Structures are given as C-alpha cells and as structure tokens.
Amino acid sequence: MSSLILLVLLSCSTLVISTKNASDSNVSQDKSIFILAGQSNMPGRGGLKSGMWDGYVPPECQSSPKILRLNAKNKWEEARPPLHHDIDYLKACGIGPGLSFANSIVKKNLSIGEIGLVPCAIGGTQISEWRRGGPLYNQLLSRVVQHCKVEEQFGLFYGIKVRAISDQKIS
C-alpha cells in the first residue's frame, strides 16, 4: 500500500522554481519551472500502438510558445509531445500529463509568463530507485541542480515536499 502511495505522490508531484531573479539570458525573467518525475504515467503511454506513438496530439496537449521543456542536452526548447522521448528513451513514449498540466496553468493565469517543464520520469522503474539517495532520485537532482543551475540562479523554491515512504508493507 505504501508503494502505491509513493507512486501516486511521485507521479503527481511537481517542483516549482521562481526565476524572477535569474540573470541567465537563456532563462526568462518570468518562468515557472515544473519537475516531471515518476514512473510510466508521467512520461506517458497515451497513443501507443504496438510500441509506437500514433502521433495524435489531443487539444489539451498542444504546443505553445509559452511552454518550454529542458531536453536531454539541457537546452530549452518549445515543449512538444512526447515530452520524455529523449529522457525515457528505452521505452516508447506517448502522451503524458505534462503538457495538459502546463496548458491548464497558462489558461487559468495568462500573466504567468513562460512555463519550463523538466522531464525526469522513467517508466519500468522501481519505487526504491526514486528514494532519497537512489539512482533516479540522484539523477533528478543532478539534472535540476547542475544543468538548470538552480541553486545559483533561481533563488527560491516553491513546491510540494514529498516525504519518502518505504516499500515495506504496512502491517
């Protein structure tokens, strides 16, 4: 049961980073950054047929110049599905919740500025790999801290703090 709770929390959790004080010319002064982490639901398996994405993009997942993604080469680009294609590259990726989430934020708050999505999710992984100190947890932190230079440039963090829950069954 606790594994399921952690899966849900990781799949739904995001980290928002304020960039109002950023000085990097590659980073907008008004960008909110969301970390997309978790297992197969986050990279998305929507639209997969026989292991291939069918290319259909639902209206709520359309690209927008206000929504960017950090690609595997750590460069910002316009976000287009599948968001995790170069991150979760061992599996076929399709439509996940990332663009729908970002589009709903833009729709509700037109003055939000740019939204930056940082795909970090990998399907077929164990919950234990996402625990603090685990390989995927460390990879996520490395991607966020080193490549986004979060600690040096972005200042304040806003987000959902997820407490680590063990894989052990609750008795």
Question: What are the boundaries of each domain within the chain?
Answer: 2-159
The helix (H) or strand (E) run that includes residue 126 is none
Region 143-150 average pLDDT: 63
Q: With 70 as the cut, is the pLDDT of residue 65 above it?
A: yes
The answer, as to whether pTM is greater than 0.85, is: no
Q: Quick one: pLDDT band at residue 29, thresholds 50, 70, 90?
A: low
Alpha-carbon separation of residue 113 from 9, 27, 60, 81, 100 (angstroms): 27, 11, 18, 21, 17
Question: For residue 166, what pLDDT is reported?
Answer: 34
More confident residue, 2 or 46: 46
In the chain the first and final C-alpha atoms are separated, in Å, by 10
Confidence of residue 148 (pLDDT cuts 50, 70, 90): low
Check whether domain 2-159 has CATH 3.40.50.1110, yes or no: yes
162 pLDDT higher than 60: no
pLDDT of residue 110: 78
| Residues 91 and 124 sit within 8 Å (Cβ to Cβ) | yes
- Distance, in Å, from the CA atom of 146 to the CA atom of 34, rounded to the nearest integer, reads 16
Q: Using the predicted structure, report yes or no on whether residue 1 has a pLDDT greater than 80.
A: no
Decide if pLDDT at 44 tops 50. Answer: yes
